[in-house]
Chain A
Amino acid sequence: MSIRRHERAWRPALRQERLRPLLLPTAFAPPLLLTWQALVVIFGYPKVILPAPSDIFVALRDNSAMIWQQTVPTVRDTLAGFALAALFGVGLASLLSFSRLLRDAIYPLIVVIQLVPKIAWTPLFIVWVGIGWPSRLTIAAFIGFFPIFIAMMAGLESTDRSLVRLCRGLIATPWRTFWLVRLPASTPYLFAGLKIAITLAVIGVIVAEFISSSEGLGFLILQSAALLRTDIILAAITVLCLVGLVCYGAVHAGELAVRKWHGE
């Protein structure tokens, strides 16, 4: 027994070890889809209740132009909302890092607002900025703002104090200390917030599309539900899944780049 364990330790590390987190789920997905397909075929569920994977594929293929047309506004509003959230989140956190007074006055309030489910604000935004893309963008930005702001605050506050002291010793101005040390030092934290924000931004846009919209994947899902086109709903969800995956992947790639830059 102990000899075998020894052999294992000596075996050269397989290349697959690194790809394992990717390979394993990819290998497990086809059997899962096959089981789904088999269950639908064997038990003869109606397509309206539970379409088989093949039905979803057909729906995706036959309606590709229409689905693509609805994907564009959803992606556009998500990315724009995310960008706004990042701008305001990083901006406000940076501003508060310069003034203890402002920080102590504003930060607790934001944390309190943060405790309310953000989705609950959606109808209010529609009243304020109207239906259409401005409200969707605002909601995505609003939802994405909090994780970015809070991560950025944490990043700025956890900046190694000895680095800040070093800057004081080198007679750096507060602005230069911020720009050269505090901001770059907080980027790993920032990315933790950005990863949450990008997924929340998609949720925000879809919910806004549910409530008031004439375009987007959320609108398509709602409309297909009214028409009992379950296959198109699942096709739209498949596309949403891919959109989310690509967005998250992009942020994750950014994070890896930053970590590499930090010498990790």
Chain B
Amino acid sequence: MSIPAAALRVVRPVVASPGGVAAAGADYVVVDRVRKVYNEGSRQQVEAVAPSSFAIKAGEFVALLGPSGCGKSTLLMMIAGLDAPSQGTIGVAGHALTQPRAETGIMFQDPTLLPWKSALDNVLFPFLAAKRAVGPADGPTRARAATLLDQVGLGGFHHHKPRQLSGGMRQRVAICRALVYEPDLLLMDEPFSALDAITRDEMNLVLMKMWEEHHRTALFVTHSIREAVYLADRVLVMSRRPGRIIEDIRIPFARPRGLEIGETVEFNEICGHLRGKIQHTPQ
């Protein structure tokens, strides 16, 4: 199974998009024939990710869509530097990736907050965990963390501990924590999958607002078709295990996007097309 990287990198717009969007920036993240095999050489060998190649341009918001267990999270963890590919290479900002980068912001499926720290201190945790240019006590840094919390609607909750916050509020704190050190790349691993549908819509709005304000190159892993189409500039579809990229489409909606775009015919056509791709995956 070795498909030339170039063949997969072709963007096939389903819906005609006004030209010029693709030329927005240079390739920021380059995933080149990356493959992941667990328990290699043993009887329980599992190929989680089949050789996959794609690139994300600077400033682009890409959604990686696929059924559960297709290896999309594995792929994201490899781009985060938290997992090593069995084969292939990943380049971020022009450097080959060998370990986690200080300039990558990550959001996990769970908020993963420290229960004994307040919302504000959790947002400041990246400055405590590793040596950065400034420490967590730095005035402007604290002010920025506080502003982020205000922006996601947690104005009155700076000093609440995670247990005193709802699931959605905790994930909002996690968004702030991923943005506070101004990463150049934002990786999100199904961050809203544990939330109820209403909270999830709300979180999508919050994320959209934050992304439009901070505009980082972003990769968002999800198994929700609507979420992917709503959030992303581009949607990559992964097949069932072993996952490989089977579709790469551009989402034409202008920003800022409101939740009402979900009601449009165009939106639902794109969703229908993606659903077809996921359901008719060749094994």
Contact = CB atoms under 8 A, between A and B. Distances in A.
In this complex, the member of A163, A167, A171, A177 whose beta carbon has the largest number of chain B beta carbons within 10 angstroms is A171
Contact of B163 (A165, A171, A172, A264): A264
Interface string A160-196: 1011011111111100110011001100000000000
Given A172-B129, A176-B130, A263-B163, A166 B112 contact: yes
What is the size category of the interface that chain B forms with chain A?
20 to 34
A14 B162 CA distance: 29
Contacts of B114: 163, 180-181, 184-185
Interface string B88-126: 000000000001111010101010101110000000011
A173 B110 CA distance: 22
Main secondary structure of the interface of A (DSSP, over half): helix
A262 B162 CA distance: 9
B128 interface: yes
Contacts, number: 59
B82 A170 contact: no
Nearest to A177: B129
A263 B164 contact: yes
Contacts of B81: 169
B115 A171 contact: no
B82 A165 contact: yes
A166 B82 CA distance: 9
A43 interface: no
A7 B50 CA distance: 64
A169 B128 CA distance: 13
A171 B132 CA distance: 10
Contacts of B162: 263
Interface string B65-82: 000000000000000111
B161 interface: yes
Nearest to A187: B116
A166 B99 CA distance: 13
A173 to B, nearest CB: 8
A261 interface: yes
A180 B116 contact: no
Contact of A167 (B104, B110, B129): B129
Nearest to A173: B130
Interface of A: 160, 162-163, 165-173, 176-177, 180-181, 184-185, 261-264
Interface of B: 80-82, 99-102, 104, 106, 108, 110, 112, 114-116, 125-126, 128-130, 161-164
8 contacts: A165-B82, A170-B126, A170-B129, A170-B130, A171-B101, A180-B125, A185-B115, A262-B115
